[in-house]
Amino acid sequence: QKAKRLHHGFSHYEEGEDCQHHRQLTLSNGLAKAVANNDFFMVYQPKFNCQKGAIDQLEALLRWQHPQLGIIYPNEFIHLAERCGMMKPLSLWVIERVIAQVATWQAKGIDIKVAINLSASDLENPQLISVIRATLEHYQVNPNKLVIEVTESAMMASLSKSIRVLNLLRELGVSLAIDDFGTGQSSLAYLRHLPVDEVKVDRAFISDFDQDDIAKQIVKTTIKLTHQLGLSVTVEGIETQKVADYLQGHQVDYLQGLYIAKPLLPDEVESQHVLSLSTPTHCDIKYPFAS
């Protein structure tokens, strides 16, 4: 890239970099206003419970509806929010929004467990526990309807602090998941020190599953060890039936990915009746939710 730059002088690369920089500035500068204006919304991606043969959980994913730039995805703005101190209000918004949605669904007779993603900086927020507790109480949602996902790298960033916060969340009665597992610096051996209920294997291991025998072995070993520790395993990024079938054959607990269902708006969750399929089936599972 450097060579390219030297060669071309004012090259596309530099222009591209400038554009990128400009976009990041625009987004950073817009964050505070966006939070104040409620320019965010949540989508909910189903998780397929393999044992039940049904969808019985959702993961809440954040979207920014930017007035000029359209929908912005979290990979582009979460790190900016962290950097300019906007993560705290944003996460508080997410917590309230999602718990309110669970209550709305409950009132409609839809009984579903929903996962929220939290960032590294959220674990440092001393109000986190009390806000979650108060919000659950306010909306009369049982803590066992909530899962908190924290990435492996966020947990490992300050391990002892994370463990303390995770234990407090657990005392509250919410479930905990370690997200993007396998991409951080920790090893399988760390799992037994982390107070989590679920391991979510990163989709990086799935991306070329067919060609990559090592990735397959890693996933199989992770499932085995996680089960030995009494934890449940989700594999993310399932895009084909082949991979879904393979993992079910290796006793994975949950599958998540475009093959099962894409992230959905609350209306879509309700109208597509993704949650009504509660007949326990085994082996011969159909996936009617692919989009």
Binding positions for Mg ion, rule: CB under 5 A: 117, 149, 179-180, 236
Q: Which does 169 bind (CB under 5 to 8 A by kind): Mg ion, ligand C2E, none?
A: none
Contact status, residue 123 vs residue 165, Cβ threshold 8 Å: yes
Pick the closer one to ligand C2E by CB: 64 or 105: 64
Contact status, residue 210 vs residue 200, Cβ threshold 8 Å: no
Q: Which does 182 bind (CB under 5 to 8 A by kind): ligand C2E, Mg ion, none?
A: none
What is the C-alpha to C-alpha distance for residues 21 and 47, in angstroms, rounded to an integer? 36
What is the C-alpha to C-alpha distance for residues 87 and 120, in angstroms, rounded to an integer? 10
Give me the least distance between CB of 236 and ligand C2E, in Å please.
6
What is the C-alpha to C-alpha distance for residues 203 and 223, in angstroms, rounded to an integer? 14
Pick the closer one to Mg ion by CB: 149 or 253: 149
What is the C-alpha to C-alpha distance for residues 76 and 59, in angstroms, rounded to an integer? 19
Pick the closer one to ligand C2E by CB: 212 or 239: 239
Q: Which does 197 bind (CB under 5 to 8 A by kind): ligand C2E, Mg ion, none?
A: none
Pick the closer one to ligand C2E by CB: 48 or 105: 48
Give me the least distance between CB of 41 and ligand C2E, in Å please.
11
Contact status, residue 78 vs residue 34, Cβ threshold 8 Å: no
Q: Which does 73 bind (CB under 5 to 8 A by kind): Mg ion, ligand C2E, none?
A: ligand C2E
* The token pair that represents 22 in the structure block: 């400009």
Q: Which does 245 bind (CB under 5 to 8 A by kind): Mg ion, ligand C2E, none?
A: none
Pick the closer one to ligand C2E by CB: 51 or 153: 153
Pick the closer one to Mg ion by CB: 30 or 198: 198
Residues at the interface with ligand C2E (CB under 6 A): 45, 61-62, 73-75, 78, 94, 117-119, 149, 151, 179-180, 203, 236-239, 257-258, 263
Q: What angle do CA 222, 224, 225 make, to 5 degrees?
A: 65
What is the C-alpha to C-alpha distance for residues 90 and 139, in angstroms, rounded to an integer? 19
The DSSP bridge partners found for residue 264 are 44
Give me the least distance between CB of 19 and ligand C2E, in Å please.
21
Q: Which does 198 bind (CB under 5 to 8 A by kind): ligand C2E, Mg ion, none?
A: none
Which H helix or E strand runs over 19? helix 12-37
Q: Which of 36, 31, 44, 43 is nearest to 275 (CA)?
A: 44
Q: Which residue has the tokens 């929903």?
A: 114
Give me the least distance between CB of 12 and Mg ion, in Å please.
29
